[in-house]
Amino acid sequence: MKKLIIAIVLLVSVVACKEINKEEQKEIADLQYVSFGKKITSESPISKEEMFKKFDKLKKGDTIDVKFASSINEVCKTKGCWMKLDLGNENESMVRFTDYGFFMPLNSDNKDVIVEGRAFVSEISVEELQHYAKDAGKSEEEIAKITEAEFTYAFEADGVLMSE
């Protein structure tokens, strides 16, 4: 009987230690990222390719809650108030931040990120596209070439994890 009790205590101890190790591993994984906005985890994001497929099925007015991983193609060079994320095959998602609650570092181009929030499709006016081009540091010549509204894959991020 005494051996059975000892065996049970040892088994419980081993299982408890494994749970702590899993939790520690999760924290270590999260330490590889700098967090912006609402605290999110790095667990279970979908790929940028999967995100593109979801965007492609959306109609104007549709919104989905989602977390996905990608890389930053471009960030606002004025104050970091938006970024464009790669969706593969030369497609991008325009990401803004909930209630202008946080901004990204101006030197974030090409960093890997995980974003969590709401995805939707929208149309961006010529004026807004020209504003974004100016924020991105484009020349007056490049800005003047923007003459048509653009259909876009939009995203409002509650939180962002960016690789260090």
Same domain, 48 and 124: yes
Same domain, 6 and 67: no
Query: Other CB atoms closer than 10 Å to residue 68's CB: what's the count?
Result: 24
Same domain, 25 and 91: no
Quote the domain boundaries for residue 48.
34-163
- Position 31 scores a pLDDT of 54
Same domain, 41 and 17: no
Q: What is the pLDDT of residues 43-94, one digit of tens each?
A: 999 999 999 999 999 988 899 999 999 999 999 999 999 999 999 999 999 9
Same domain, 66 and 131: yes
- SS3 labels along the chain: CHHHHHHHHHHHHHHHHHHHHHHHHHHHHHHCEEEEECCCCCCCCECHHHHHHHHHHCCCCCCEEEEEEEEEEEECCCCCCEEEEEEECCEEEEEEEHHHCCCCCCCCCCCEEEEEEEEEEEEECHHHHHHHHHHCCCCHHHHHCCCCCEEEEEEEEEEEEEEC
Same domain, 148 and 86: yes
Same domain, 53 and 98: yes
- Position 22 scores a pLDDT of 52
Amino acid at 33: Y
Rounded to an integer, what distance in angstroms lies between the CA atom of residue 83 and that of residue 157? 10
- Position 19 scores a pLDDT of 41
Same domain, 91 and 22: no
Same domain, 123 and 58: yes
Amino acid at 119: A
Look up the CATH number of the domain holding residue 136.
2.40.50
Place of tokens 């499709």: 121
Number of structural domains the chain divides into? 2
- Position 150 scores a pLDDT of 83
Residue pair 74/136 in contact (Cβ under 8 Å)? The answer is yes
Hey, what are 9's tokens? 């205590």
- Position 151 scores a pLDDT of 82
Q: What is the pLDDT of residues 79-134, one digit of tens each?
A: 999 999 999 999 999 999 999 999 999 999 999 999 999 999 988 899 999 998 98
- Position 21 scores a pLDDT of 47
Same domain, 13 and 83: no
Rounded to an integer, what distance in angstroms lies between the CA atom of residue 18 and that of residue 148? 57
Amino acid at 9: V
Same domain, 18 and 41: no
Q: What is the pLDDT of residues 6-42, one digit of tens each?
A: 444 444 444 343 343 455 445 445 558 999 999 999 9
Q: 124, 142, 125: which is closest to 133 by C-alpha?
A: 142
Same domain, 74 and 142: yes
